[in-house]
Amino acid sequence: METRILWGKELAQATIQKVAQEVENSRNQGKRPPGLAVILVGKDPASQIYVSHKEQACKRAGIRSMGFRLPPSTSMDEMLNLIKDLNRKEEVDGILVQLPLPPHLDASPIIEAIDPIKDVDGFHPINMGKLALGDEGMVPCTPKGVMALLDHYGIEVEGQEVVVVGASNIVGKPLALLLVNRMATVTVCHIKTRDLASHTQKAQIIFTATGVTHLIKKEMVPRGAIIFDIGISRVRDKILGDADFEGLQGWAQAITPVPGGVGPMTVAMLMVNTLEAYKKRVGLER
């Protein structure tokens, strides 16, 4: 069996291009550009790279990005005051706080301080709650990017046995909800799951987001499975995924590569969410 590689790079580029076109149309009608505030606390090297990718995408999409790079010593009060300010700013449509935060900053009150209409990450309890109720407004970017890839490659999940490995608030949980909303039969596995392989062996589609290098191997999945690799780990300067990409060649029906698969879609979906927030706020919606 030839394993199909499900690239995300081209779709991400095309998506950003579409956002850029909509922004240009809006600008031609005399409107201000969309604005995205990106807050990065501390010097985590991976976060710095992600934030710079987000800022570069803003440039391509015609979105004005406002970067706030804060020292690791930033206090909760300083964070909450900054978010309050950004909530009030007319020209700011989206507010993103890059995670993880330093250990002394609890993410929950910070995320809850963001005006839900500006919550382009979709992490606010109101937006997560809506997602759980099947009202998909601001949906977290990585799971939304996965769904866009499923659609692009014509992969139907309704009625399928699917497994989500990893139950984070950022990826695993919202992804499981999106899949349930599409009527997939969803099993969520996580760090306390006793026998991971017993679940993945029954799945037609496996979504893995753990950051554990090569956790998912050929022996653990049925022949012809489709694998969405949402994990990222670094091993000696190399970026690797959760799936043993080489070992799964000729066994899996299809697999997303790392890098170049789901990753670029996260950034593209952030542009889509920012455009959506902007349209709501400037009253452009048809």
Contact region with ligand GUN (CB under 6 A), list: 95-103, 178-186, 205-213, 245-253: 95-103
The interaxial angle of helices 141-152 and 9-28, nearest 10 deg, is 110
**Size, binding site for ligand GUN by CB under 6 A:** 9
Closer residue to ligand GUN (CB): 220 or 267: 267
The residue of the chain with the least Cβ separation from ligand GUN equals 99
Instruction: Give the nearest distance from C-beta 279 to ligand GUN in angstroms.
Output: 21
98 is an active site residue: yes
Q: Per the residue annotation, which of 93, 118, 119, 121 is the catalytic one?
A: 121
Q: Which residues of 70-92 are buried (b: 16+ CB within 10 A; e: fewer)?
A: beeebeeeebeebbeebeeeeeb
Question: Is-catalytic flag, 121?
Answer: yes
For the chain, how many helices (H) and strands (E)?
10, 11
Q: Omega of the bond prior to 103 within 30 degrees of 0, cis?
A: no
Per-residue tokens: 267: 């950034």
Q: Are 264 and 242 in contact (CB under 8 A)?
A: no
Is residue 65 part of the contact set for ligand GUN (CB under 6 A)?
Answer: no
Q: How many CB atoms lie within 10 A of CB 130?
A: 17
Q: Does 149 bind ligand GUN (CB under 6 A)?
A: no
Residue with tokens 């992600």: 50
Question: CB neighbours (10 Å) of residue 41?
Answer: 23
Q: Choose, by CB under 6 A, the member of 6, 79, 83, 96 that binds ligand GUN.
A: 96
Smallest gap, in angstroms, from Cβ of residue 98 to ligand GUN?
Answer: 5
Question: Within positions 251 to 280, which residues make up the interface with ligand GUN, using CB under 6 A?
Answer: 266
Is residue 97 part of the contact set for ligand GUN (CB under 6 A)? yes
189: nearest Cα among 19, 71, 1, 201? 201
CA distance 66 to 255: 35
Contact string (CB under 6 A) for ligand GUN, positions 151-180, x = contact: -------------------x----------
> Is residue 148 within 8 Å of 170, Cβ to Cβ?
no
- Give the range of 76-84, 93-101, 146-154, 278-286 binding ligand GUN by CB under 6 A: 93-101
Task: Select 54 or 199, whichever has its Cβ closest to ligand GUN.
Answer: 54
Active site residue 54: yes
Residue pair 99/41 in contact (Cβ under 8 Å)? The answer is no
Residue number, 98 or 208, with CB nearest to ligand GUN: 98
Spatial separation of the C-alpha atoms in residues 116 and 125, rounded to whole Å: 9
Please identify which residue in 15, 142, 204, 273 interacts with ligand GUN, judged by CB under 6 A: 142
Residue from 141, 220, 248, 254 in contact with ligand GUN (CB under 6 A): 141
Kindly state the tokens that stand for 67. 């970067």
Residues involved in catalysis: 54, 98, 121
Q: Which residues bind to ligand GUN, rule: CB under 6 A?
A: 96-99, 121, 141-142, 170, 266
